[in-house]
Amino acid sequence: MTDVTPGARPADPEGLRAELLALGFDRVGFAPVGEQPDFARFRDWLAEGCAAGMDYLARHAEARRDPARLLAGARSVIMVSVSYHAPRPAGEGRGGDAAKSAGADDPATTDEPAPAGFGRVSRYARGRDYHRVLRGRLRQAARLLAERHGARAARICVDTAPLLERSLAARAGLGWIGRNTCLVDPELGSWTFLGALLTDLDLPPDSPQPDRCGDCRACLDACPTGALAAPGRLDARHCLSYLTIEHRGPLPAELAARLEGRVFGCDRCQEVCPFNAGARATRAEDFHPRPDQGLLELAPLLALDRAGLAARFAGTPLMRAGAEGLRRNAAAVLEGQRRRR
């Protein structure tokens, strides 16, 4: 073990980065703790009601001001990203029998509307639950920091902690914040999950990347509901991703009418992004689409109960909507398809 004291700077930060990459992350970047320049943006977004019913974002909102509030002695944030992009059909595990017999294309590779009787699942949710996958790898990373680099304190954050993950990832040089609000990596596009490891090690900060959106506005123009009211600003009250995953209760009729076959999540503002067109494929088998998880047959969902939800979707992101949410979404998609006929 290297001889270090807490808060010390490892002798070979690039060696440390390489060790972390070897755990299965596509990118690893370092950012300092301290006041987050984007915190004011987050606070204003909340104040304007853009979080819709996600009340949990307002809880501990102040903690997002500085990641050091989440871990005593924290000096740095290690930000990681892992691609979930699955561009090529690989036979089994991509569409499933039901979708194939309905004449559907591989749901992992097409952006076409879902065929009648089926609903499309957002790409991020076609494999295993990313929280589990990233947390597992970050636990290994925390062990490595403690055993080989003398770290005394660590905290793993994937999604649920009050941390501005996209802003921190941008600060750690993993990409830039696109106009669709996603973190865009020049090679991986925005089909990435983010995770954070707070540590008491003092790591040299990486440089942020330049914004490469240029004069593109494709995501803003493509959003089916106008939820991207301004560049980099998503109003969840109008967002199909929010409505189909996080929202509880009935869907507003005028927005339900715009689902166009989306039964869980929405990828429109990412599908049109030029940086996603040539994105490199994921190396994580966990994120390869599972059979019948890209296109869902809707009729069985109408009768889904809690036991049925767990039997079918345990360990996947679809659990988040709950049985009631999936029943509601399936009914709304079927209603939309019926009207179009």
Active site residues: 159
Which lies closer to ligand B12 via its Cβ, residue 95 or residue 175? 175
Compute the least distance from the CB of residue 3 to ligand B12, in Å.
34
Q: Which 264-283 positions form the footprint of ligand SF4 (CB under 6 A)? A: 266, 268-269, 272-275
Q: For the chain, what is the radius of gyration of the CA atoms?
A: 21
Compute the least distance from the CB of residue 80 to ligand B12, in Å.
10
Compute the least distance from the CB of residue 211 to ligand SF4, in Å.
8
Q: Which 265-324 positions form the footprint of ligand B12 (CB under 6 A)? A: 265-267, 269
Strand, helix or coil for residue 157: strand
Which lies closer to ligand B12 via its Cβ, residue 19 or residue 38? 38
Q: What is the DSSP letter of 46?
A: H
Among residues 216, 281, 319, 331, which is the contact residue for ligand SF4, using CB under 6 A?
Answer: 216
Stretch of residues binding ligand B12 (CB under 6 A), selected from 95-103, 141-149, 176-184, 322-330: 176-184
CA neighbor of 140 nearest in space, from 30, 28, 32, 64: 28
Q: How far is CA 168 from the centre of its chain?
A: 14
Of the chain, the end-to-end C-alpha distance in Å amounts to 68
Helices (H) and strands (E) in the chain, counts: 13, 11
Compute the least distance from the CB of residue 231 to ligand B12, in Å.
6
Q: Which 60-99 positions form the footprint of ligand B12 (CB under 6 A)? A: none
Amino acid at 116: A
**Rule CB under 6 A: is residue 25 a binding residue for ligand B12?**
no
Instruction: Report d(CA 300, CA 230) in Å as an integer.
Output: 39
Q: What are phi and psi of 176, to 5 degrees?
A: -125, 165
Among residues 106, 165, 200, 286, which is the contact residue for ligand B12, using CB under 6 A?
Answer: 165
Q: Are 225 and 258 in contact (CB under 8 A)?
A: yes
Instruction: Report d(CA 252, CA 49) in Å as an integer.
Output: 16
Question: Residue 168 to residues 78, 133, 318, 329, 330: CA-CA distances in angstroms?
Answer: 9, 20, 26, 33, 36
Which spans of this chain sit near ligand B12 (rule: CB under 6 A)? 38, 41-42, 45, 54, 57, 122, 124, 158-159, 163-167, 177, 180-183, 190, 192-194, 232-234, 236, 239, 241-242, 245-246, 265-267, 269
Which spans of this chain sit near ligand SF4 (rule: CB under 6 A)? 178-180, 184, 213, 216-219, 223-225, 227-228, 234, 239-241, 266, 268-269, 272-275
